[in-house]
């Protein structure tokens, strides 16, 4: 299986409810390694770039407000097949439709408060990891 690095963002629901550790434990238990981690304010320009694919959706202003309601935590995780593995661990976007045993199914509330963002393809992962981490903030060990 190809070794990949993927981007996770712990969203404001995870930050305010204290769910980051529980989610990270699942990622680490699945064999994924931390390459980078930082807390940041999701500034307008970065948010617009990251969510360009939903910018025209009617729910975008609500997502923007939500994503800026607390700081977020960005995490770069590496492992075999990391992109799909993380998506599988998370479950589908809508937490109410996510199976028990998935992070969103167990810890998420709805379609917006769904604990984490995770890159949805290998191409997106490459772009998104670079968006949040300069090369010297990513570690290999
Ligand atoms: P994912 O985060 O699972 O890759 P998308 O890229 O389709 O999902 O959507 C980006 C984010 O926009 C979602 O994680 C969610 O926070 C929000 N979102 C998507 N659809 C809706 C919706 N119908 N109502 C409110 N928020 C939504």
Does the predicted TM-score (pTM) go above 0.85? yes
Confidence of residue 74 (pLDDT cuts 50, 70, 90): very high
Task: Of 10, 70, 6, 57, give the one whose Cα is nearest residue 34.
Answer: 6
Q: Which of 93, 107, 125 to mutate to test the pocket of ligand 1 (most atoms within 8 A of CB)?
A: 93
Average pLDDT over residues 3-18: 98
Tens-place pLDDT, residues 95-127: 999 999 999 999 999 999 999 999 999 999 999
Domains contained in the chain, CATH given: 3-40+73-137 (3.30.70.141)
Q: Which two tokens stand for residue 31?
A: 């064999």
Q: Give me the pLDDT at residue 25, please.
A: 98
Lookup result for tokens 């709805």? 110
CA 13 – CA 114 distance, rounded (Å): 7
119 C-beta closer than 6 A to ligand 1: no
Mean pLDDT over all residues of the chain? 98
**Coil vs helix vs strand at 54:** helix
Is 117 among the catalytic positions?
Answer: yes
Burial letters 94-104, b for 16+ CB under 10 A, else e: ebeebeeebbb
Confidence of residue 40 (pLDDT cuts 50, 70, 90): very high
Number of the ligand 1 atom closest to the C-alpha atom of 90? 3
Q: Give me the pLDDT at residue 81, please.
A: 98
The region that residue 77 occupies, defined by phi over 0 for left and psi between -120 and 50 for alpha, beta otherwise, is: beta
Ligand 1 center–CA 140 separation, angstroms: 31
């Amino acid at each position: 299986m190809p070794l990949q690095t993927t981007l996770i963002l712990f969203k404001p629901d995870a930050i305010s409810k204290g769910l980051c550790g529980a989610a990270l434990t699942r990622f680490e238990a699945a064999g994924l390694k931390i390459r980078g981690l930082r807390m940041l304010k999701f500034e307008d320009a970065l948010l617009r770039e990251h969510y360009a694919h939903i910018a025209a959706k009617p729910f975008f202003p609500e997502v923007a407000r939500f994503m800026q309601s607390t700081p977020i935590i960005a995490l770069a995780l590496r492992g075999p097949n990391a992109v799909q593995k993380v998506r599988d661990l998370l479950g589908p976007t809508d937490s109410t439709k996510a199976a028990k045993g998935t992070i969103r199914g167990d810890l998420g509330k709805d379609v917006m408060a769904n604990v984490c963002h995770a890159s949805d393809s290998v191409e997106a992962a490459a772009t998104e990891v670079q968006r949040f981490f300069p090369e010297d903030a990513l570690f290999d060990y």
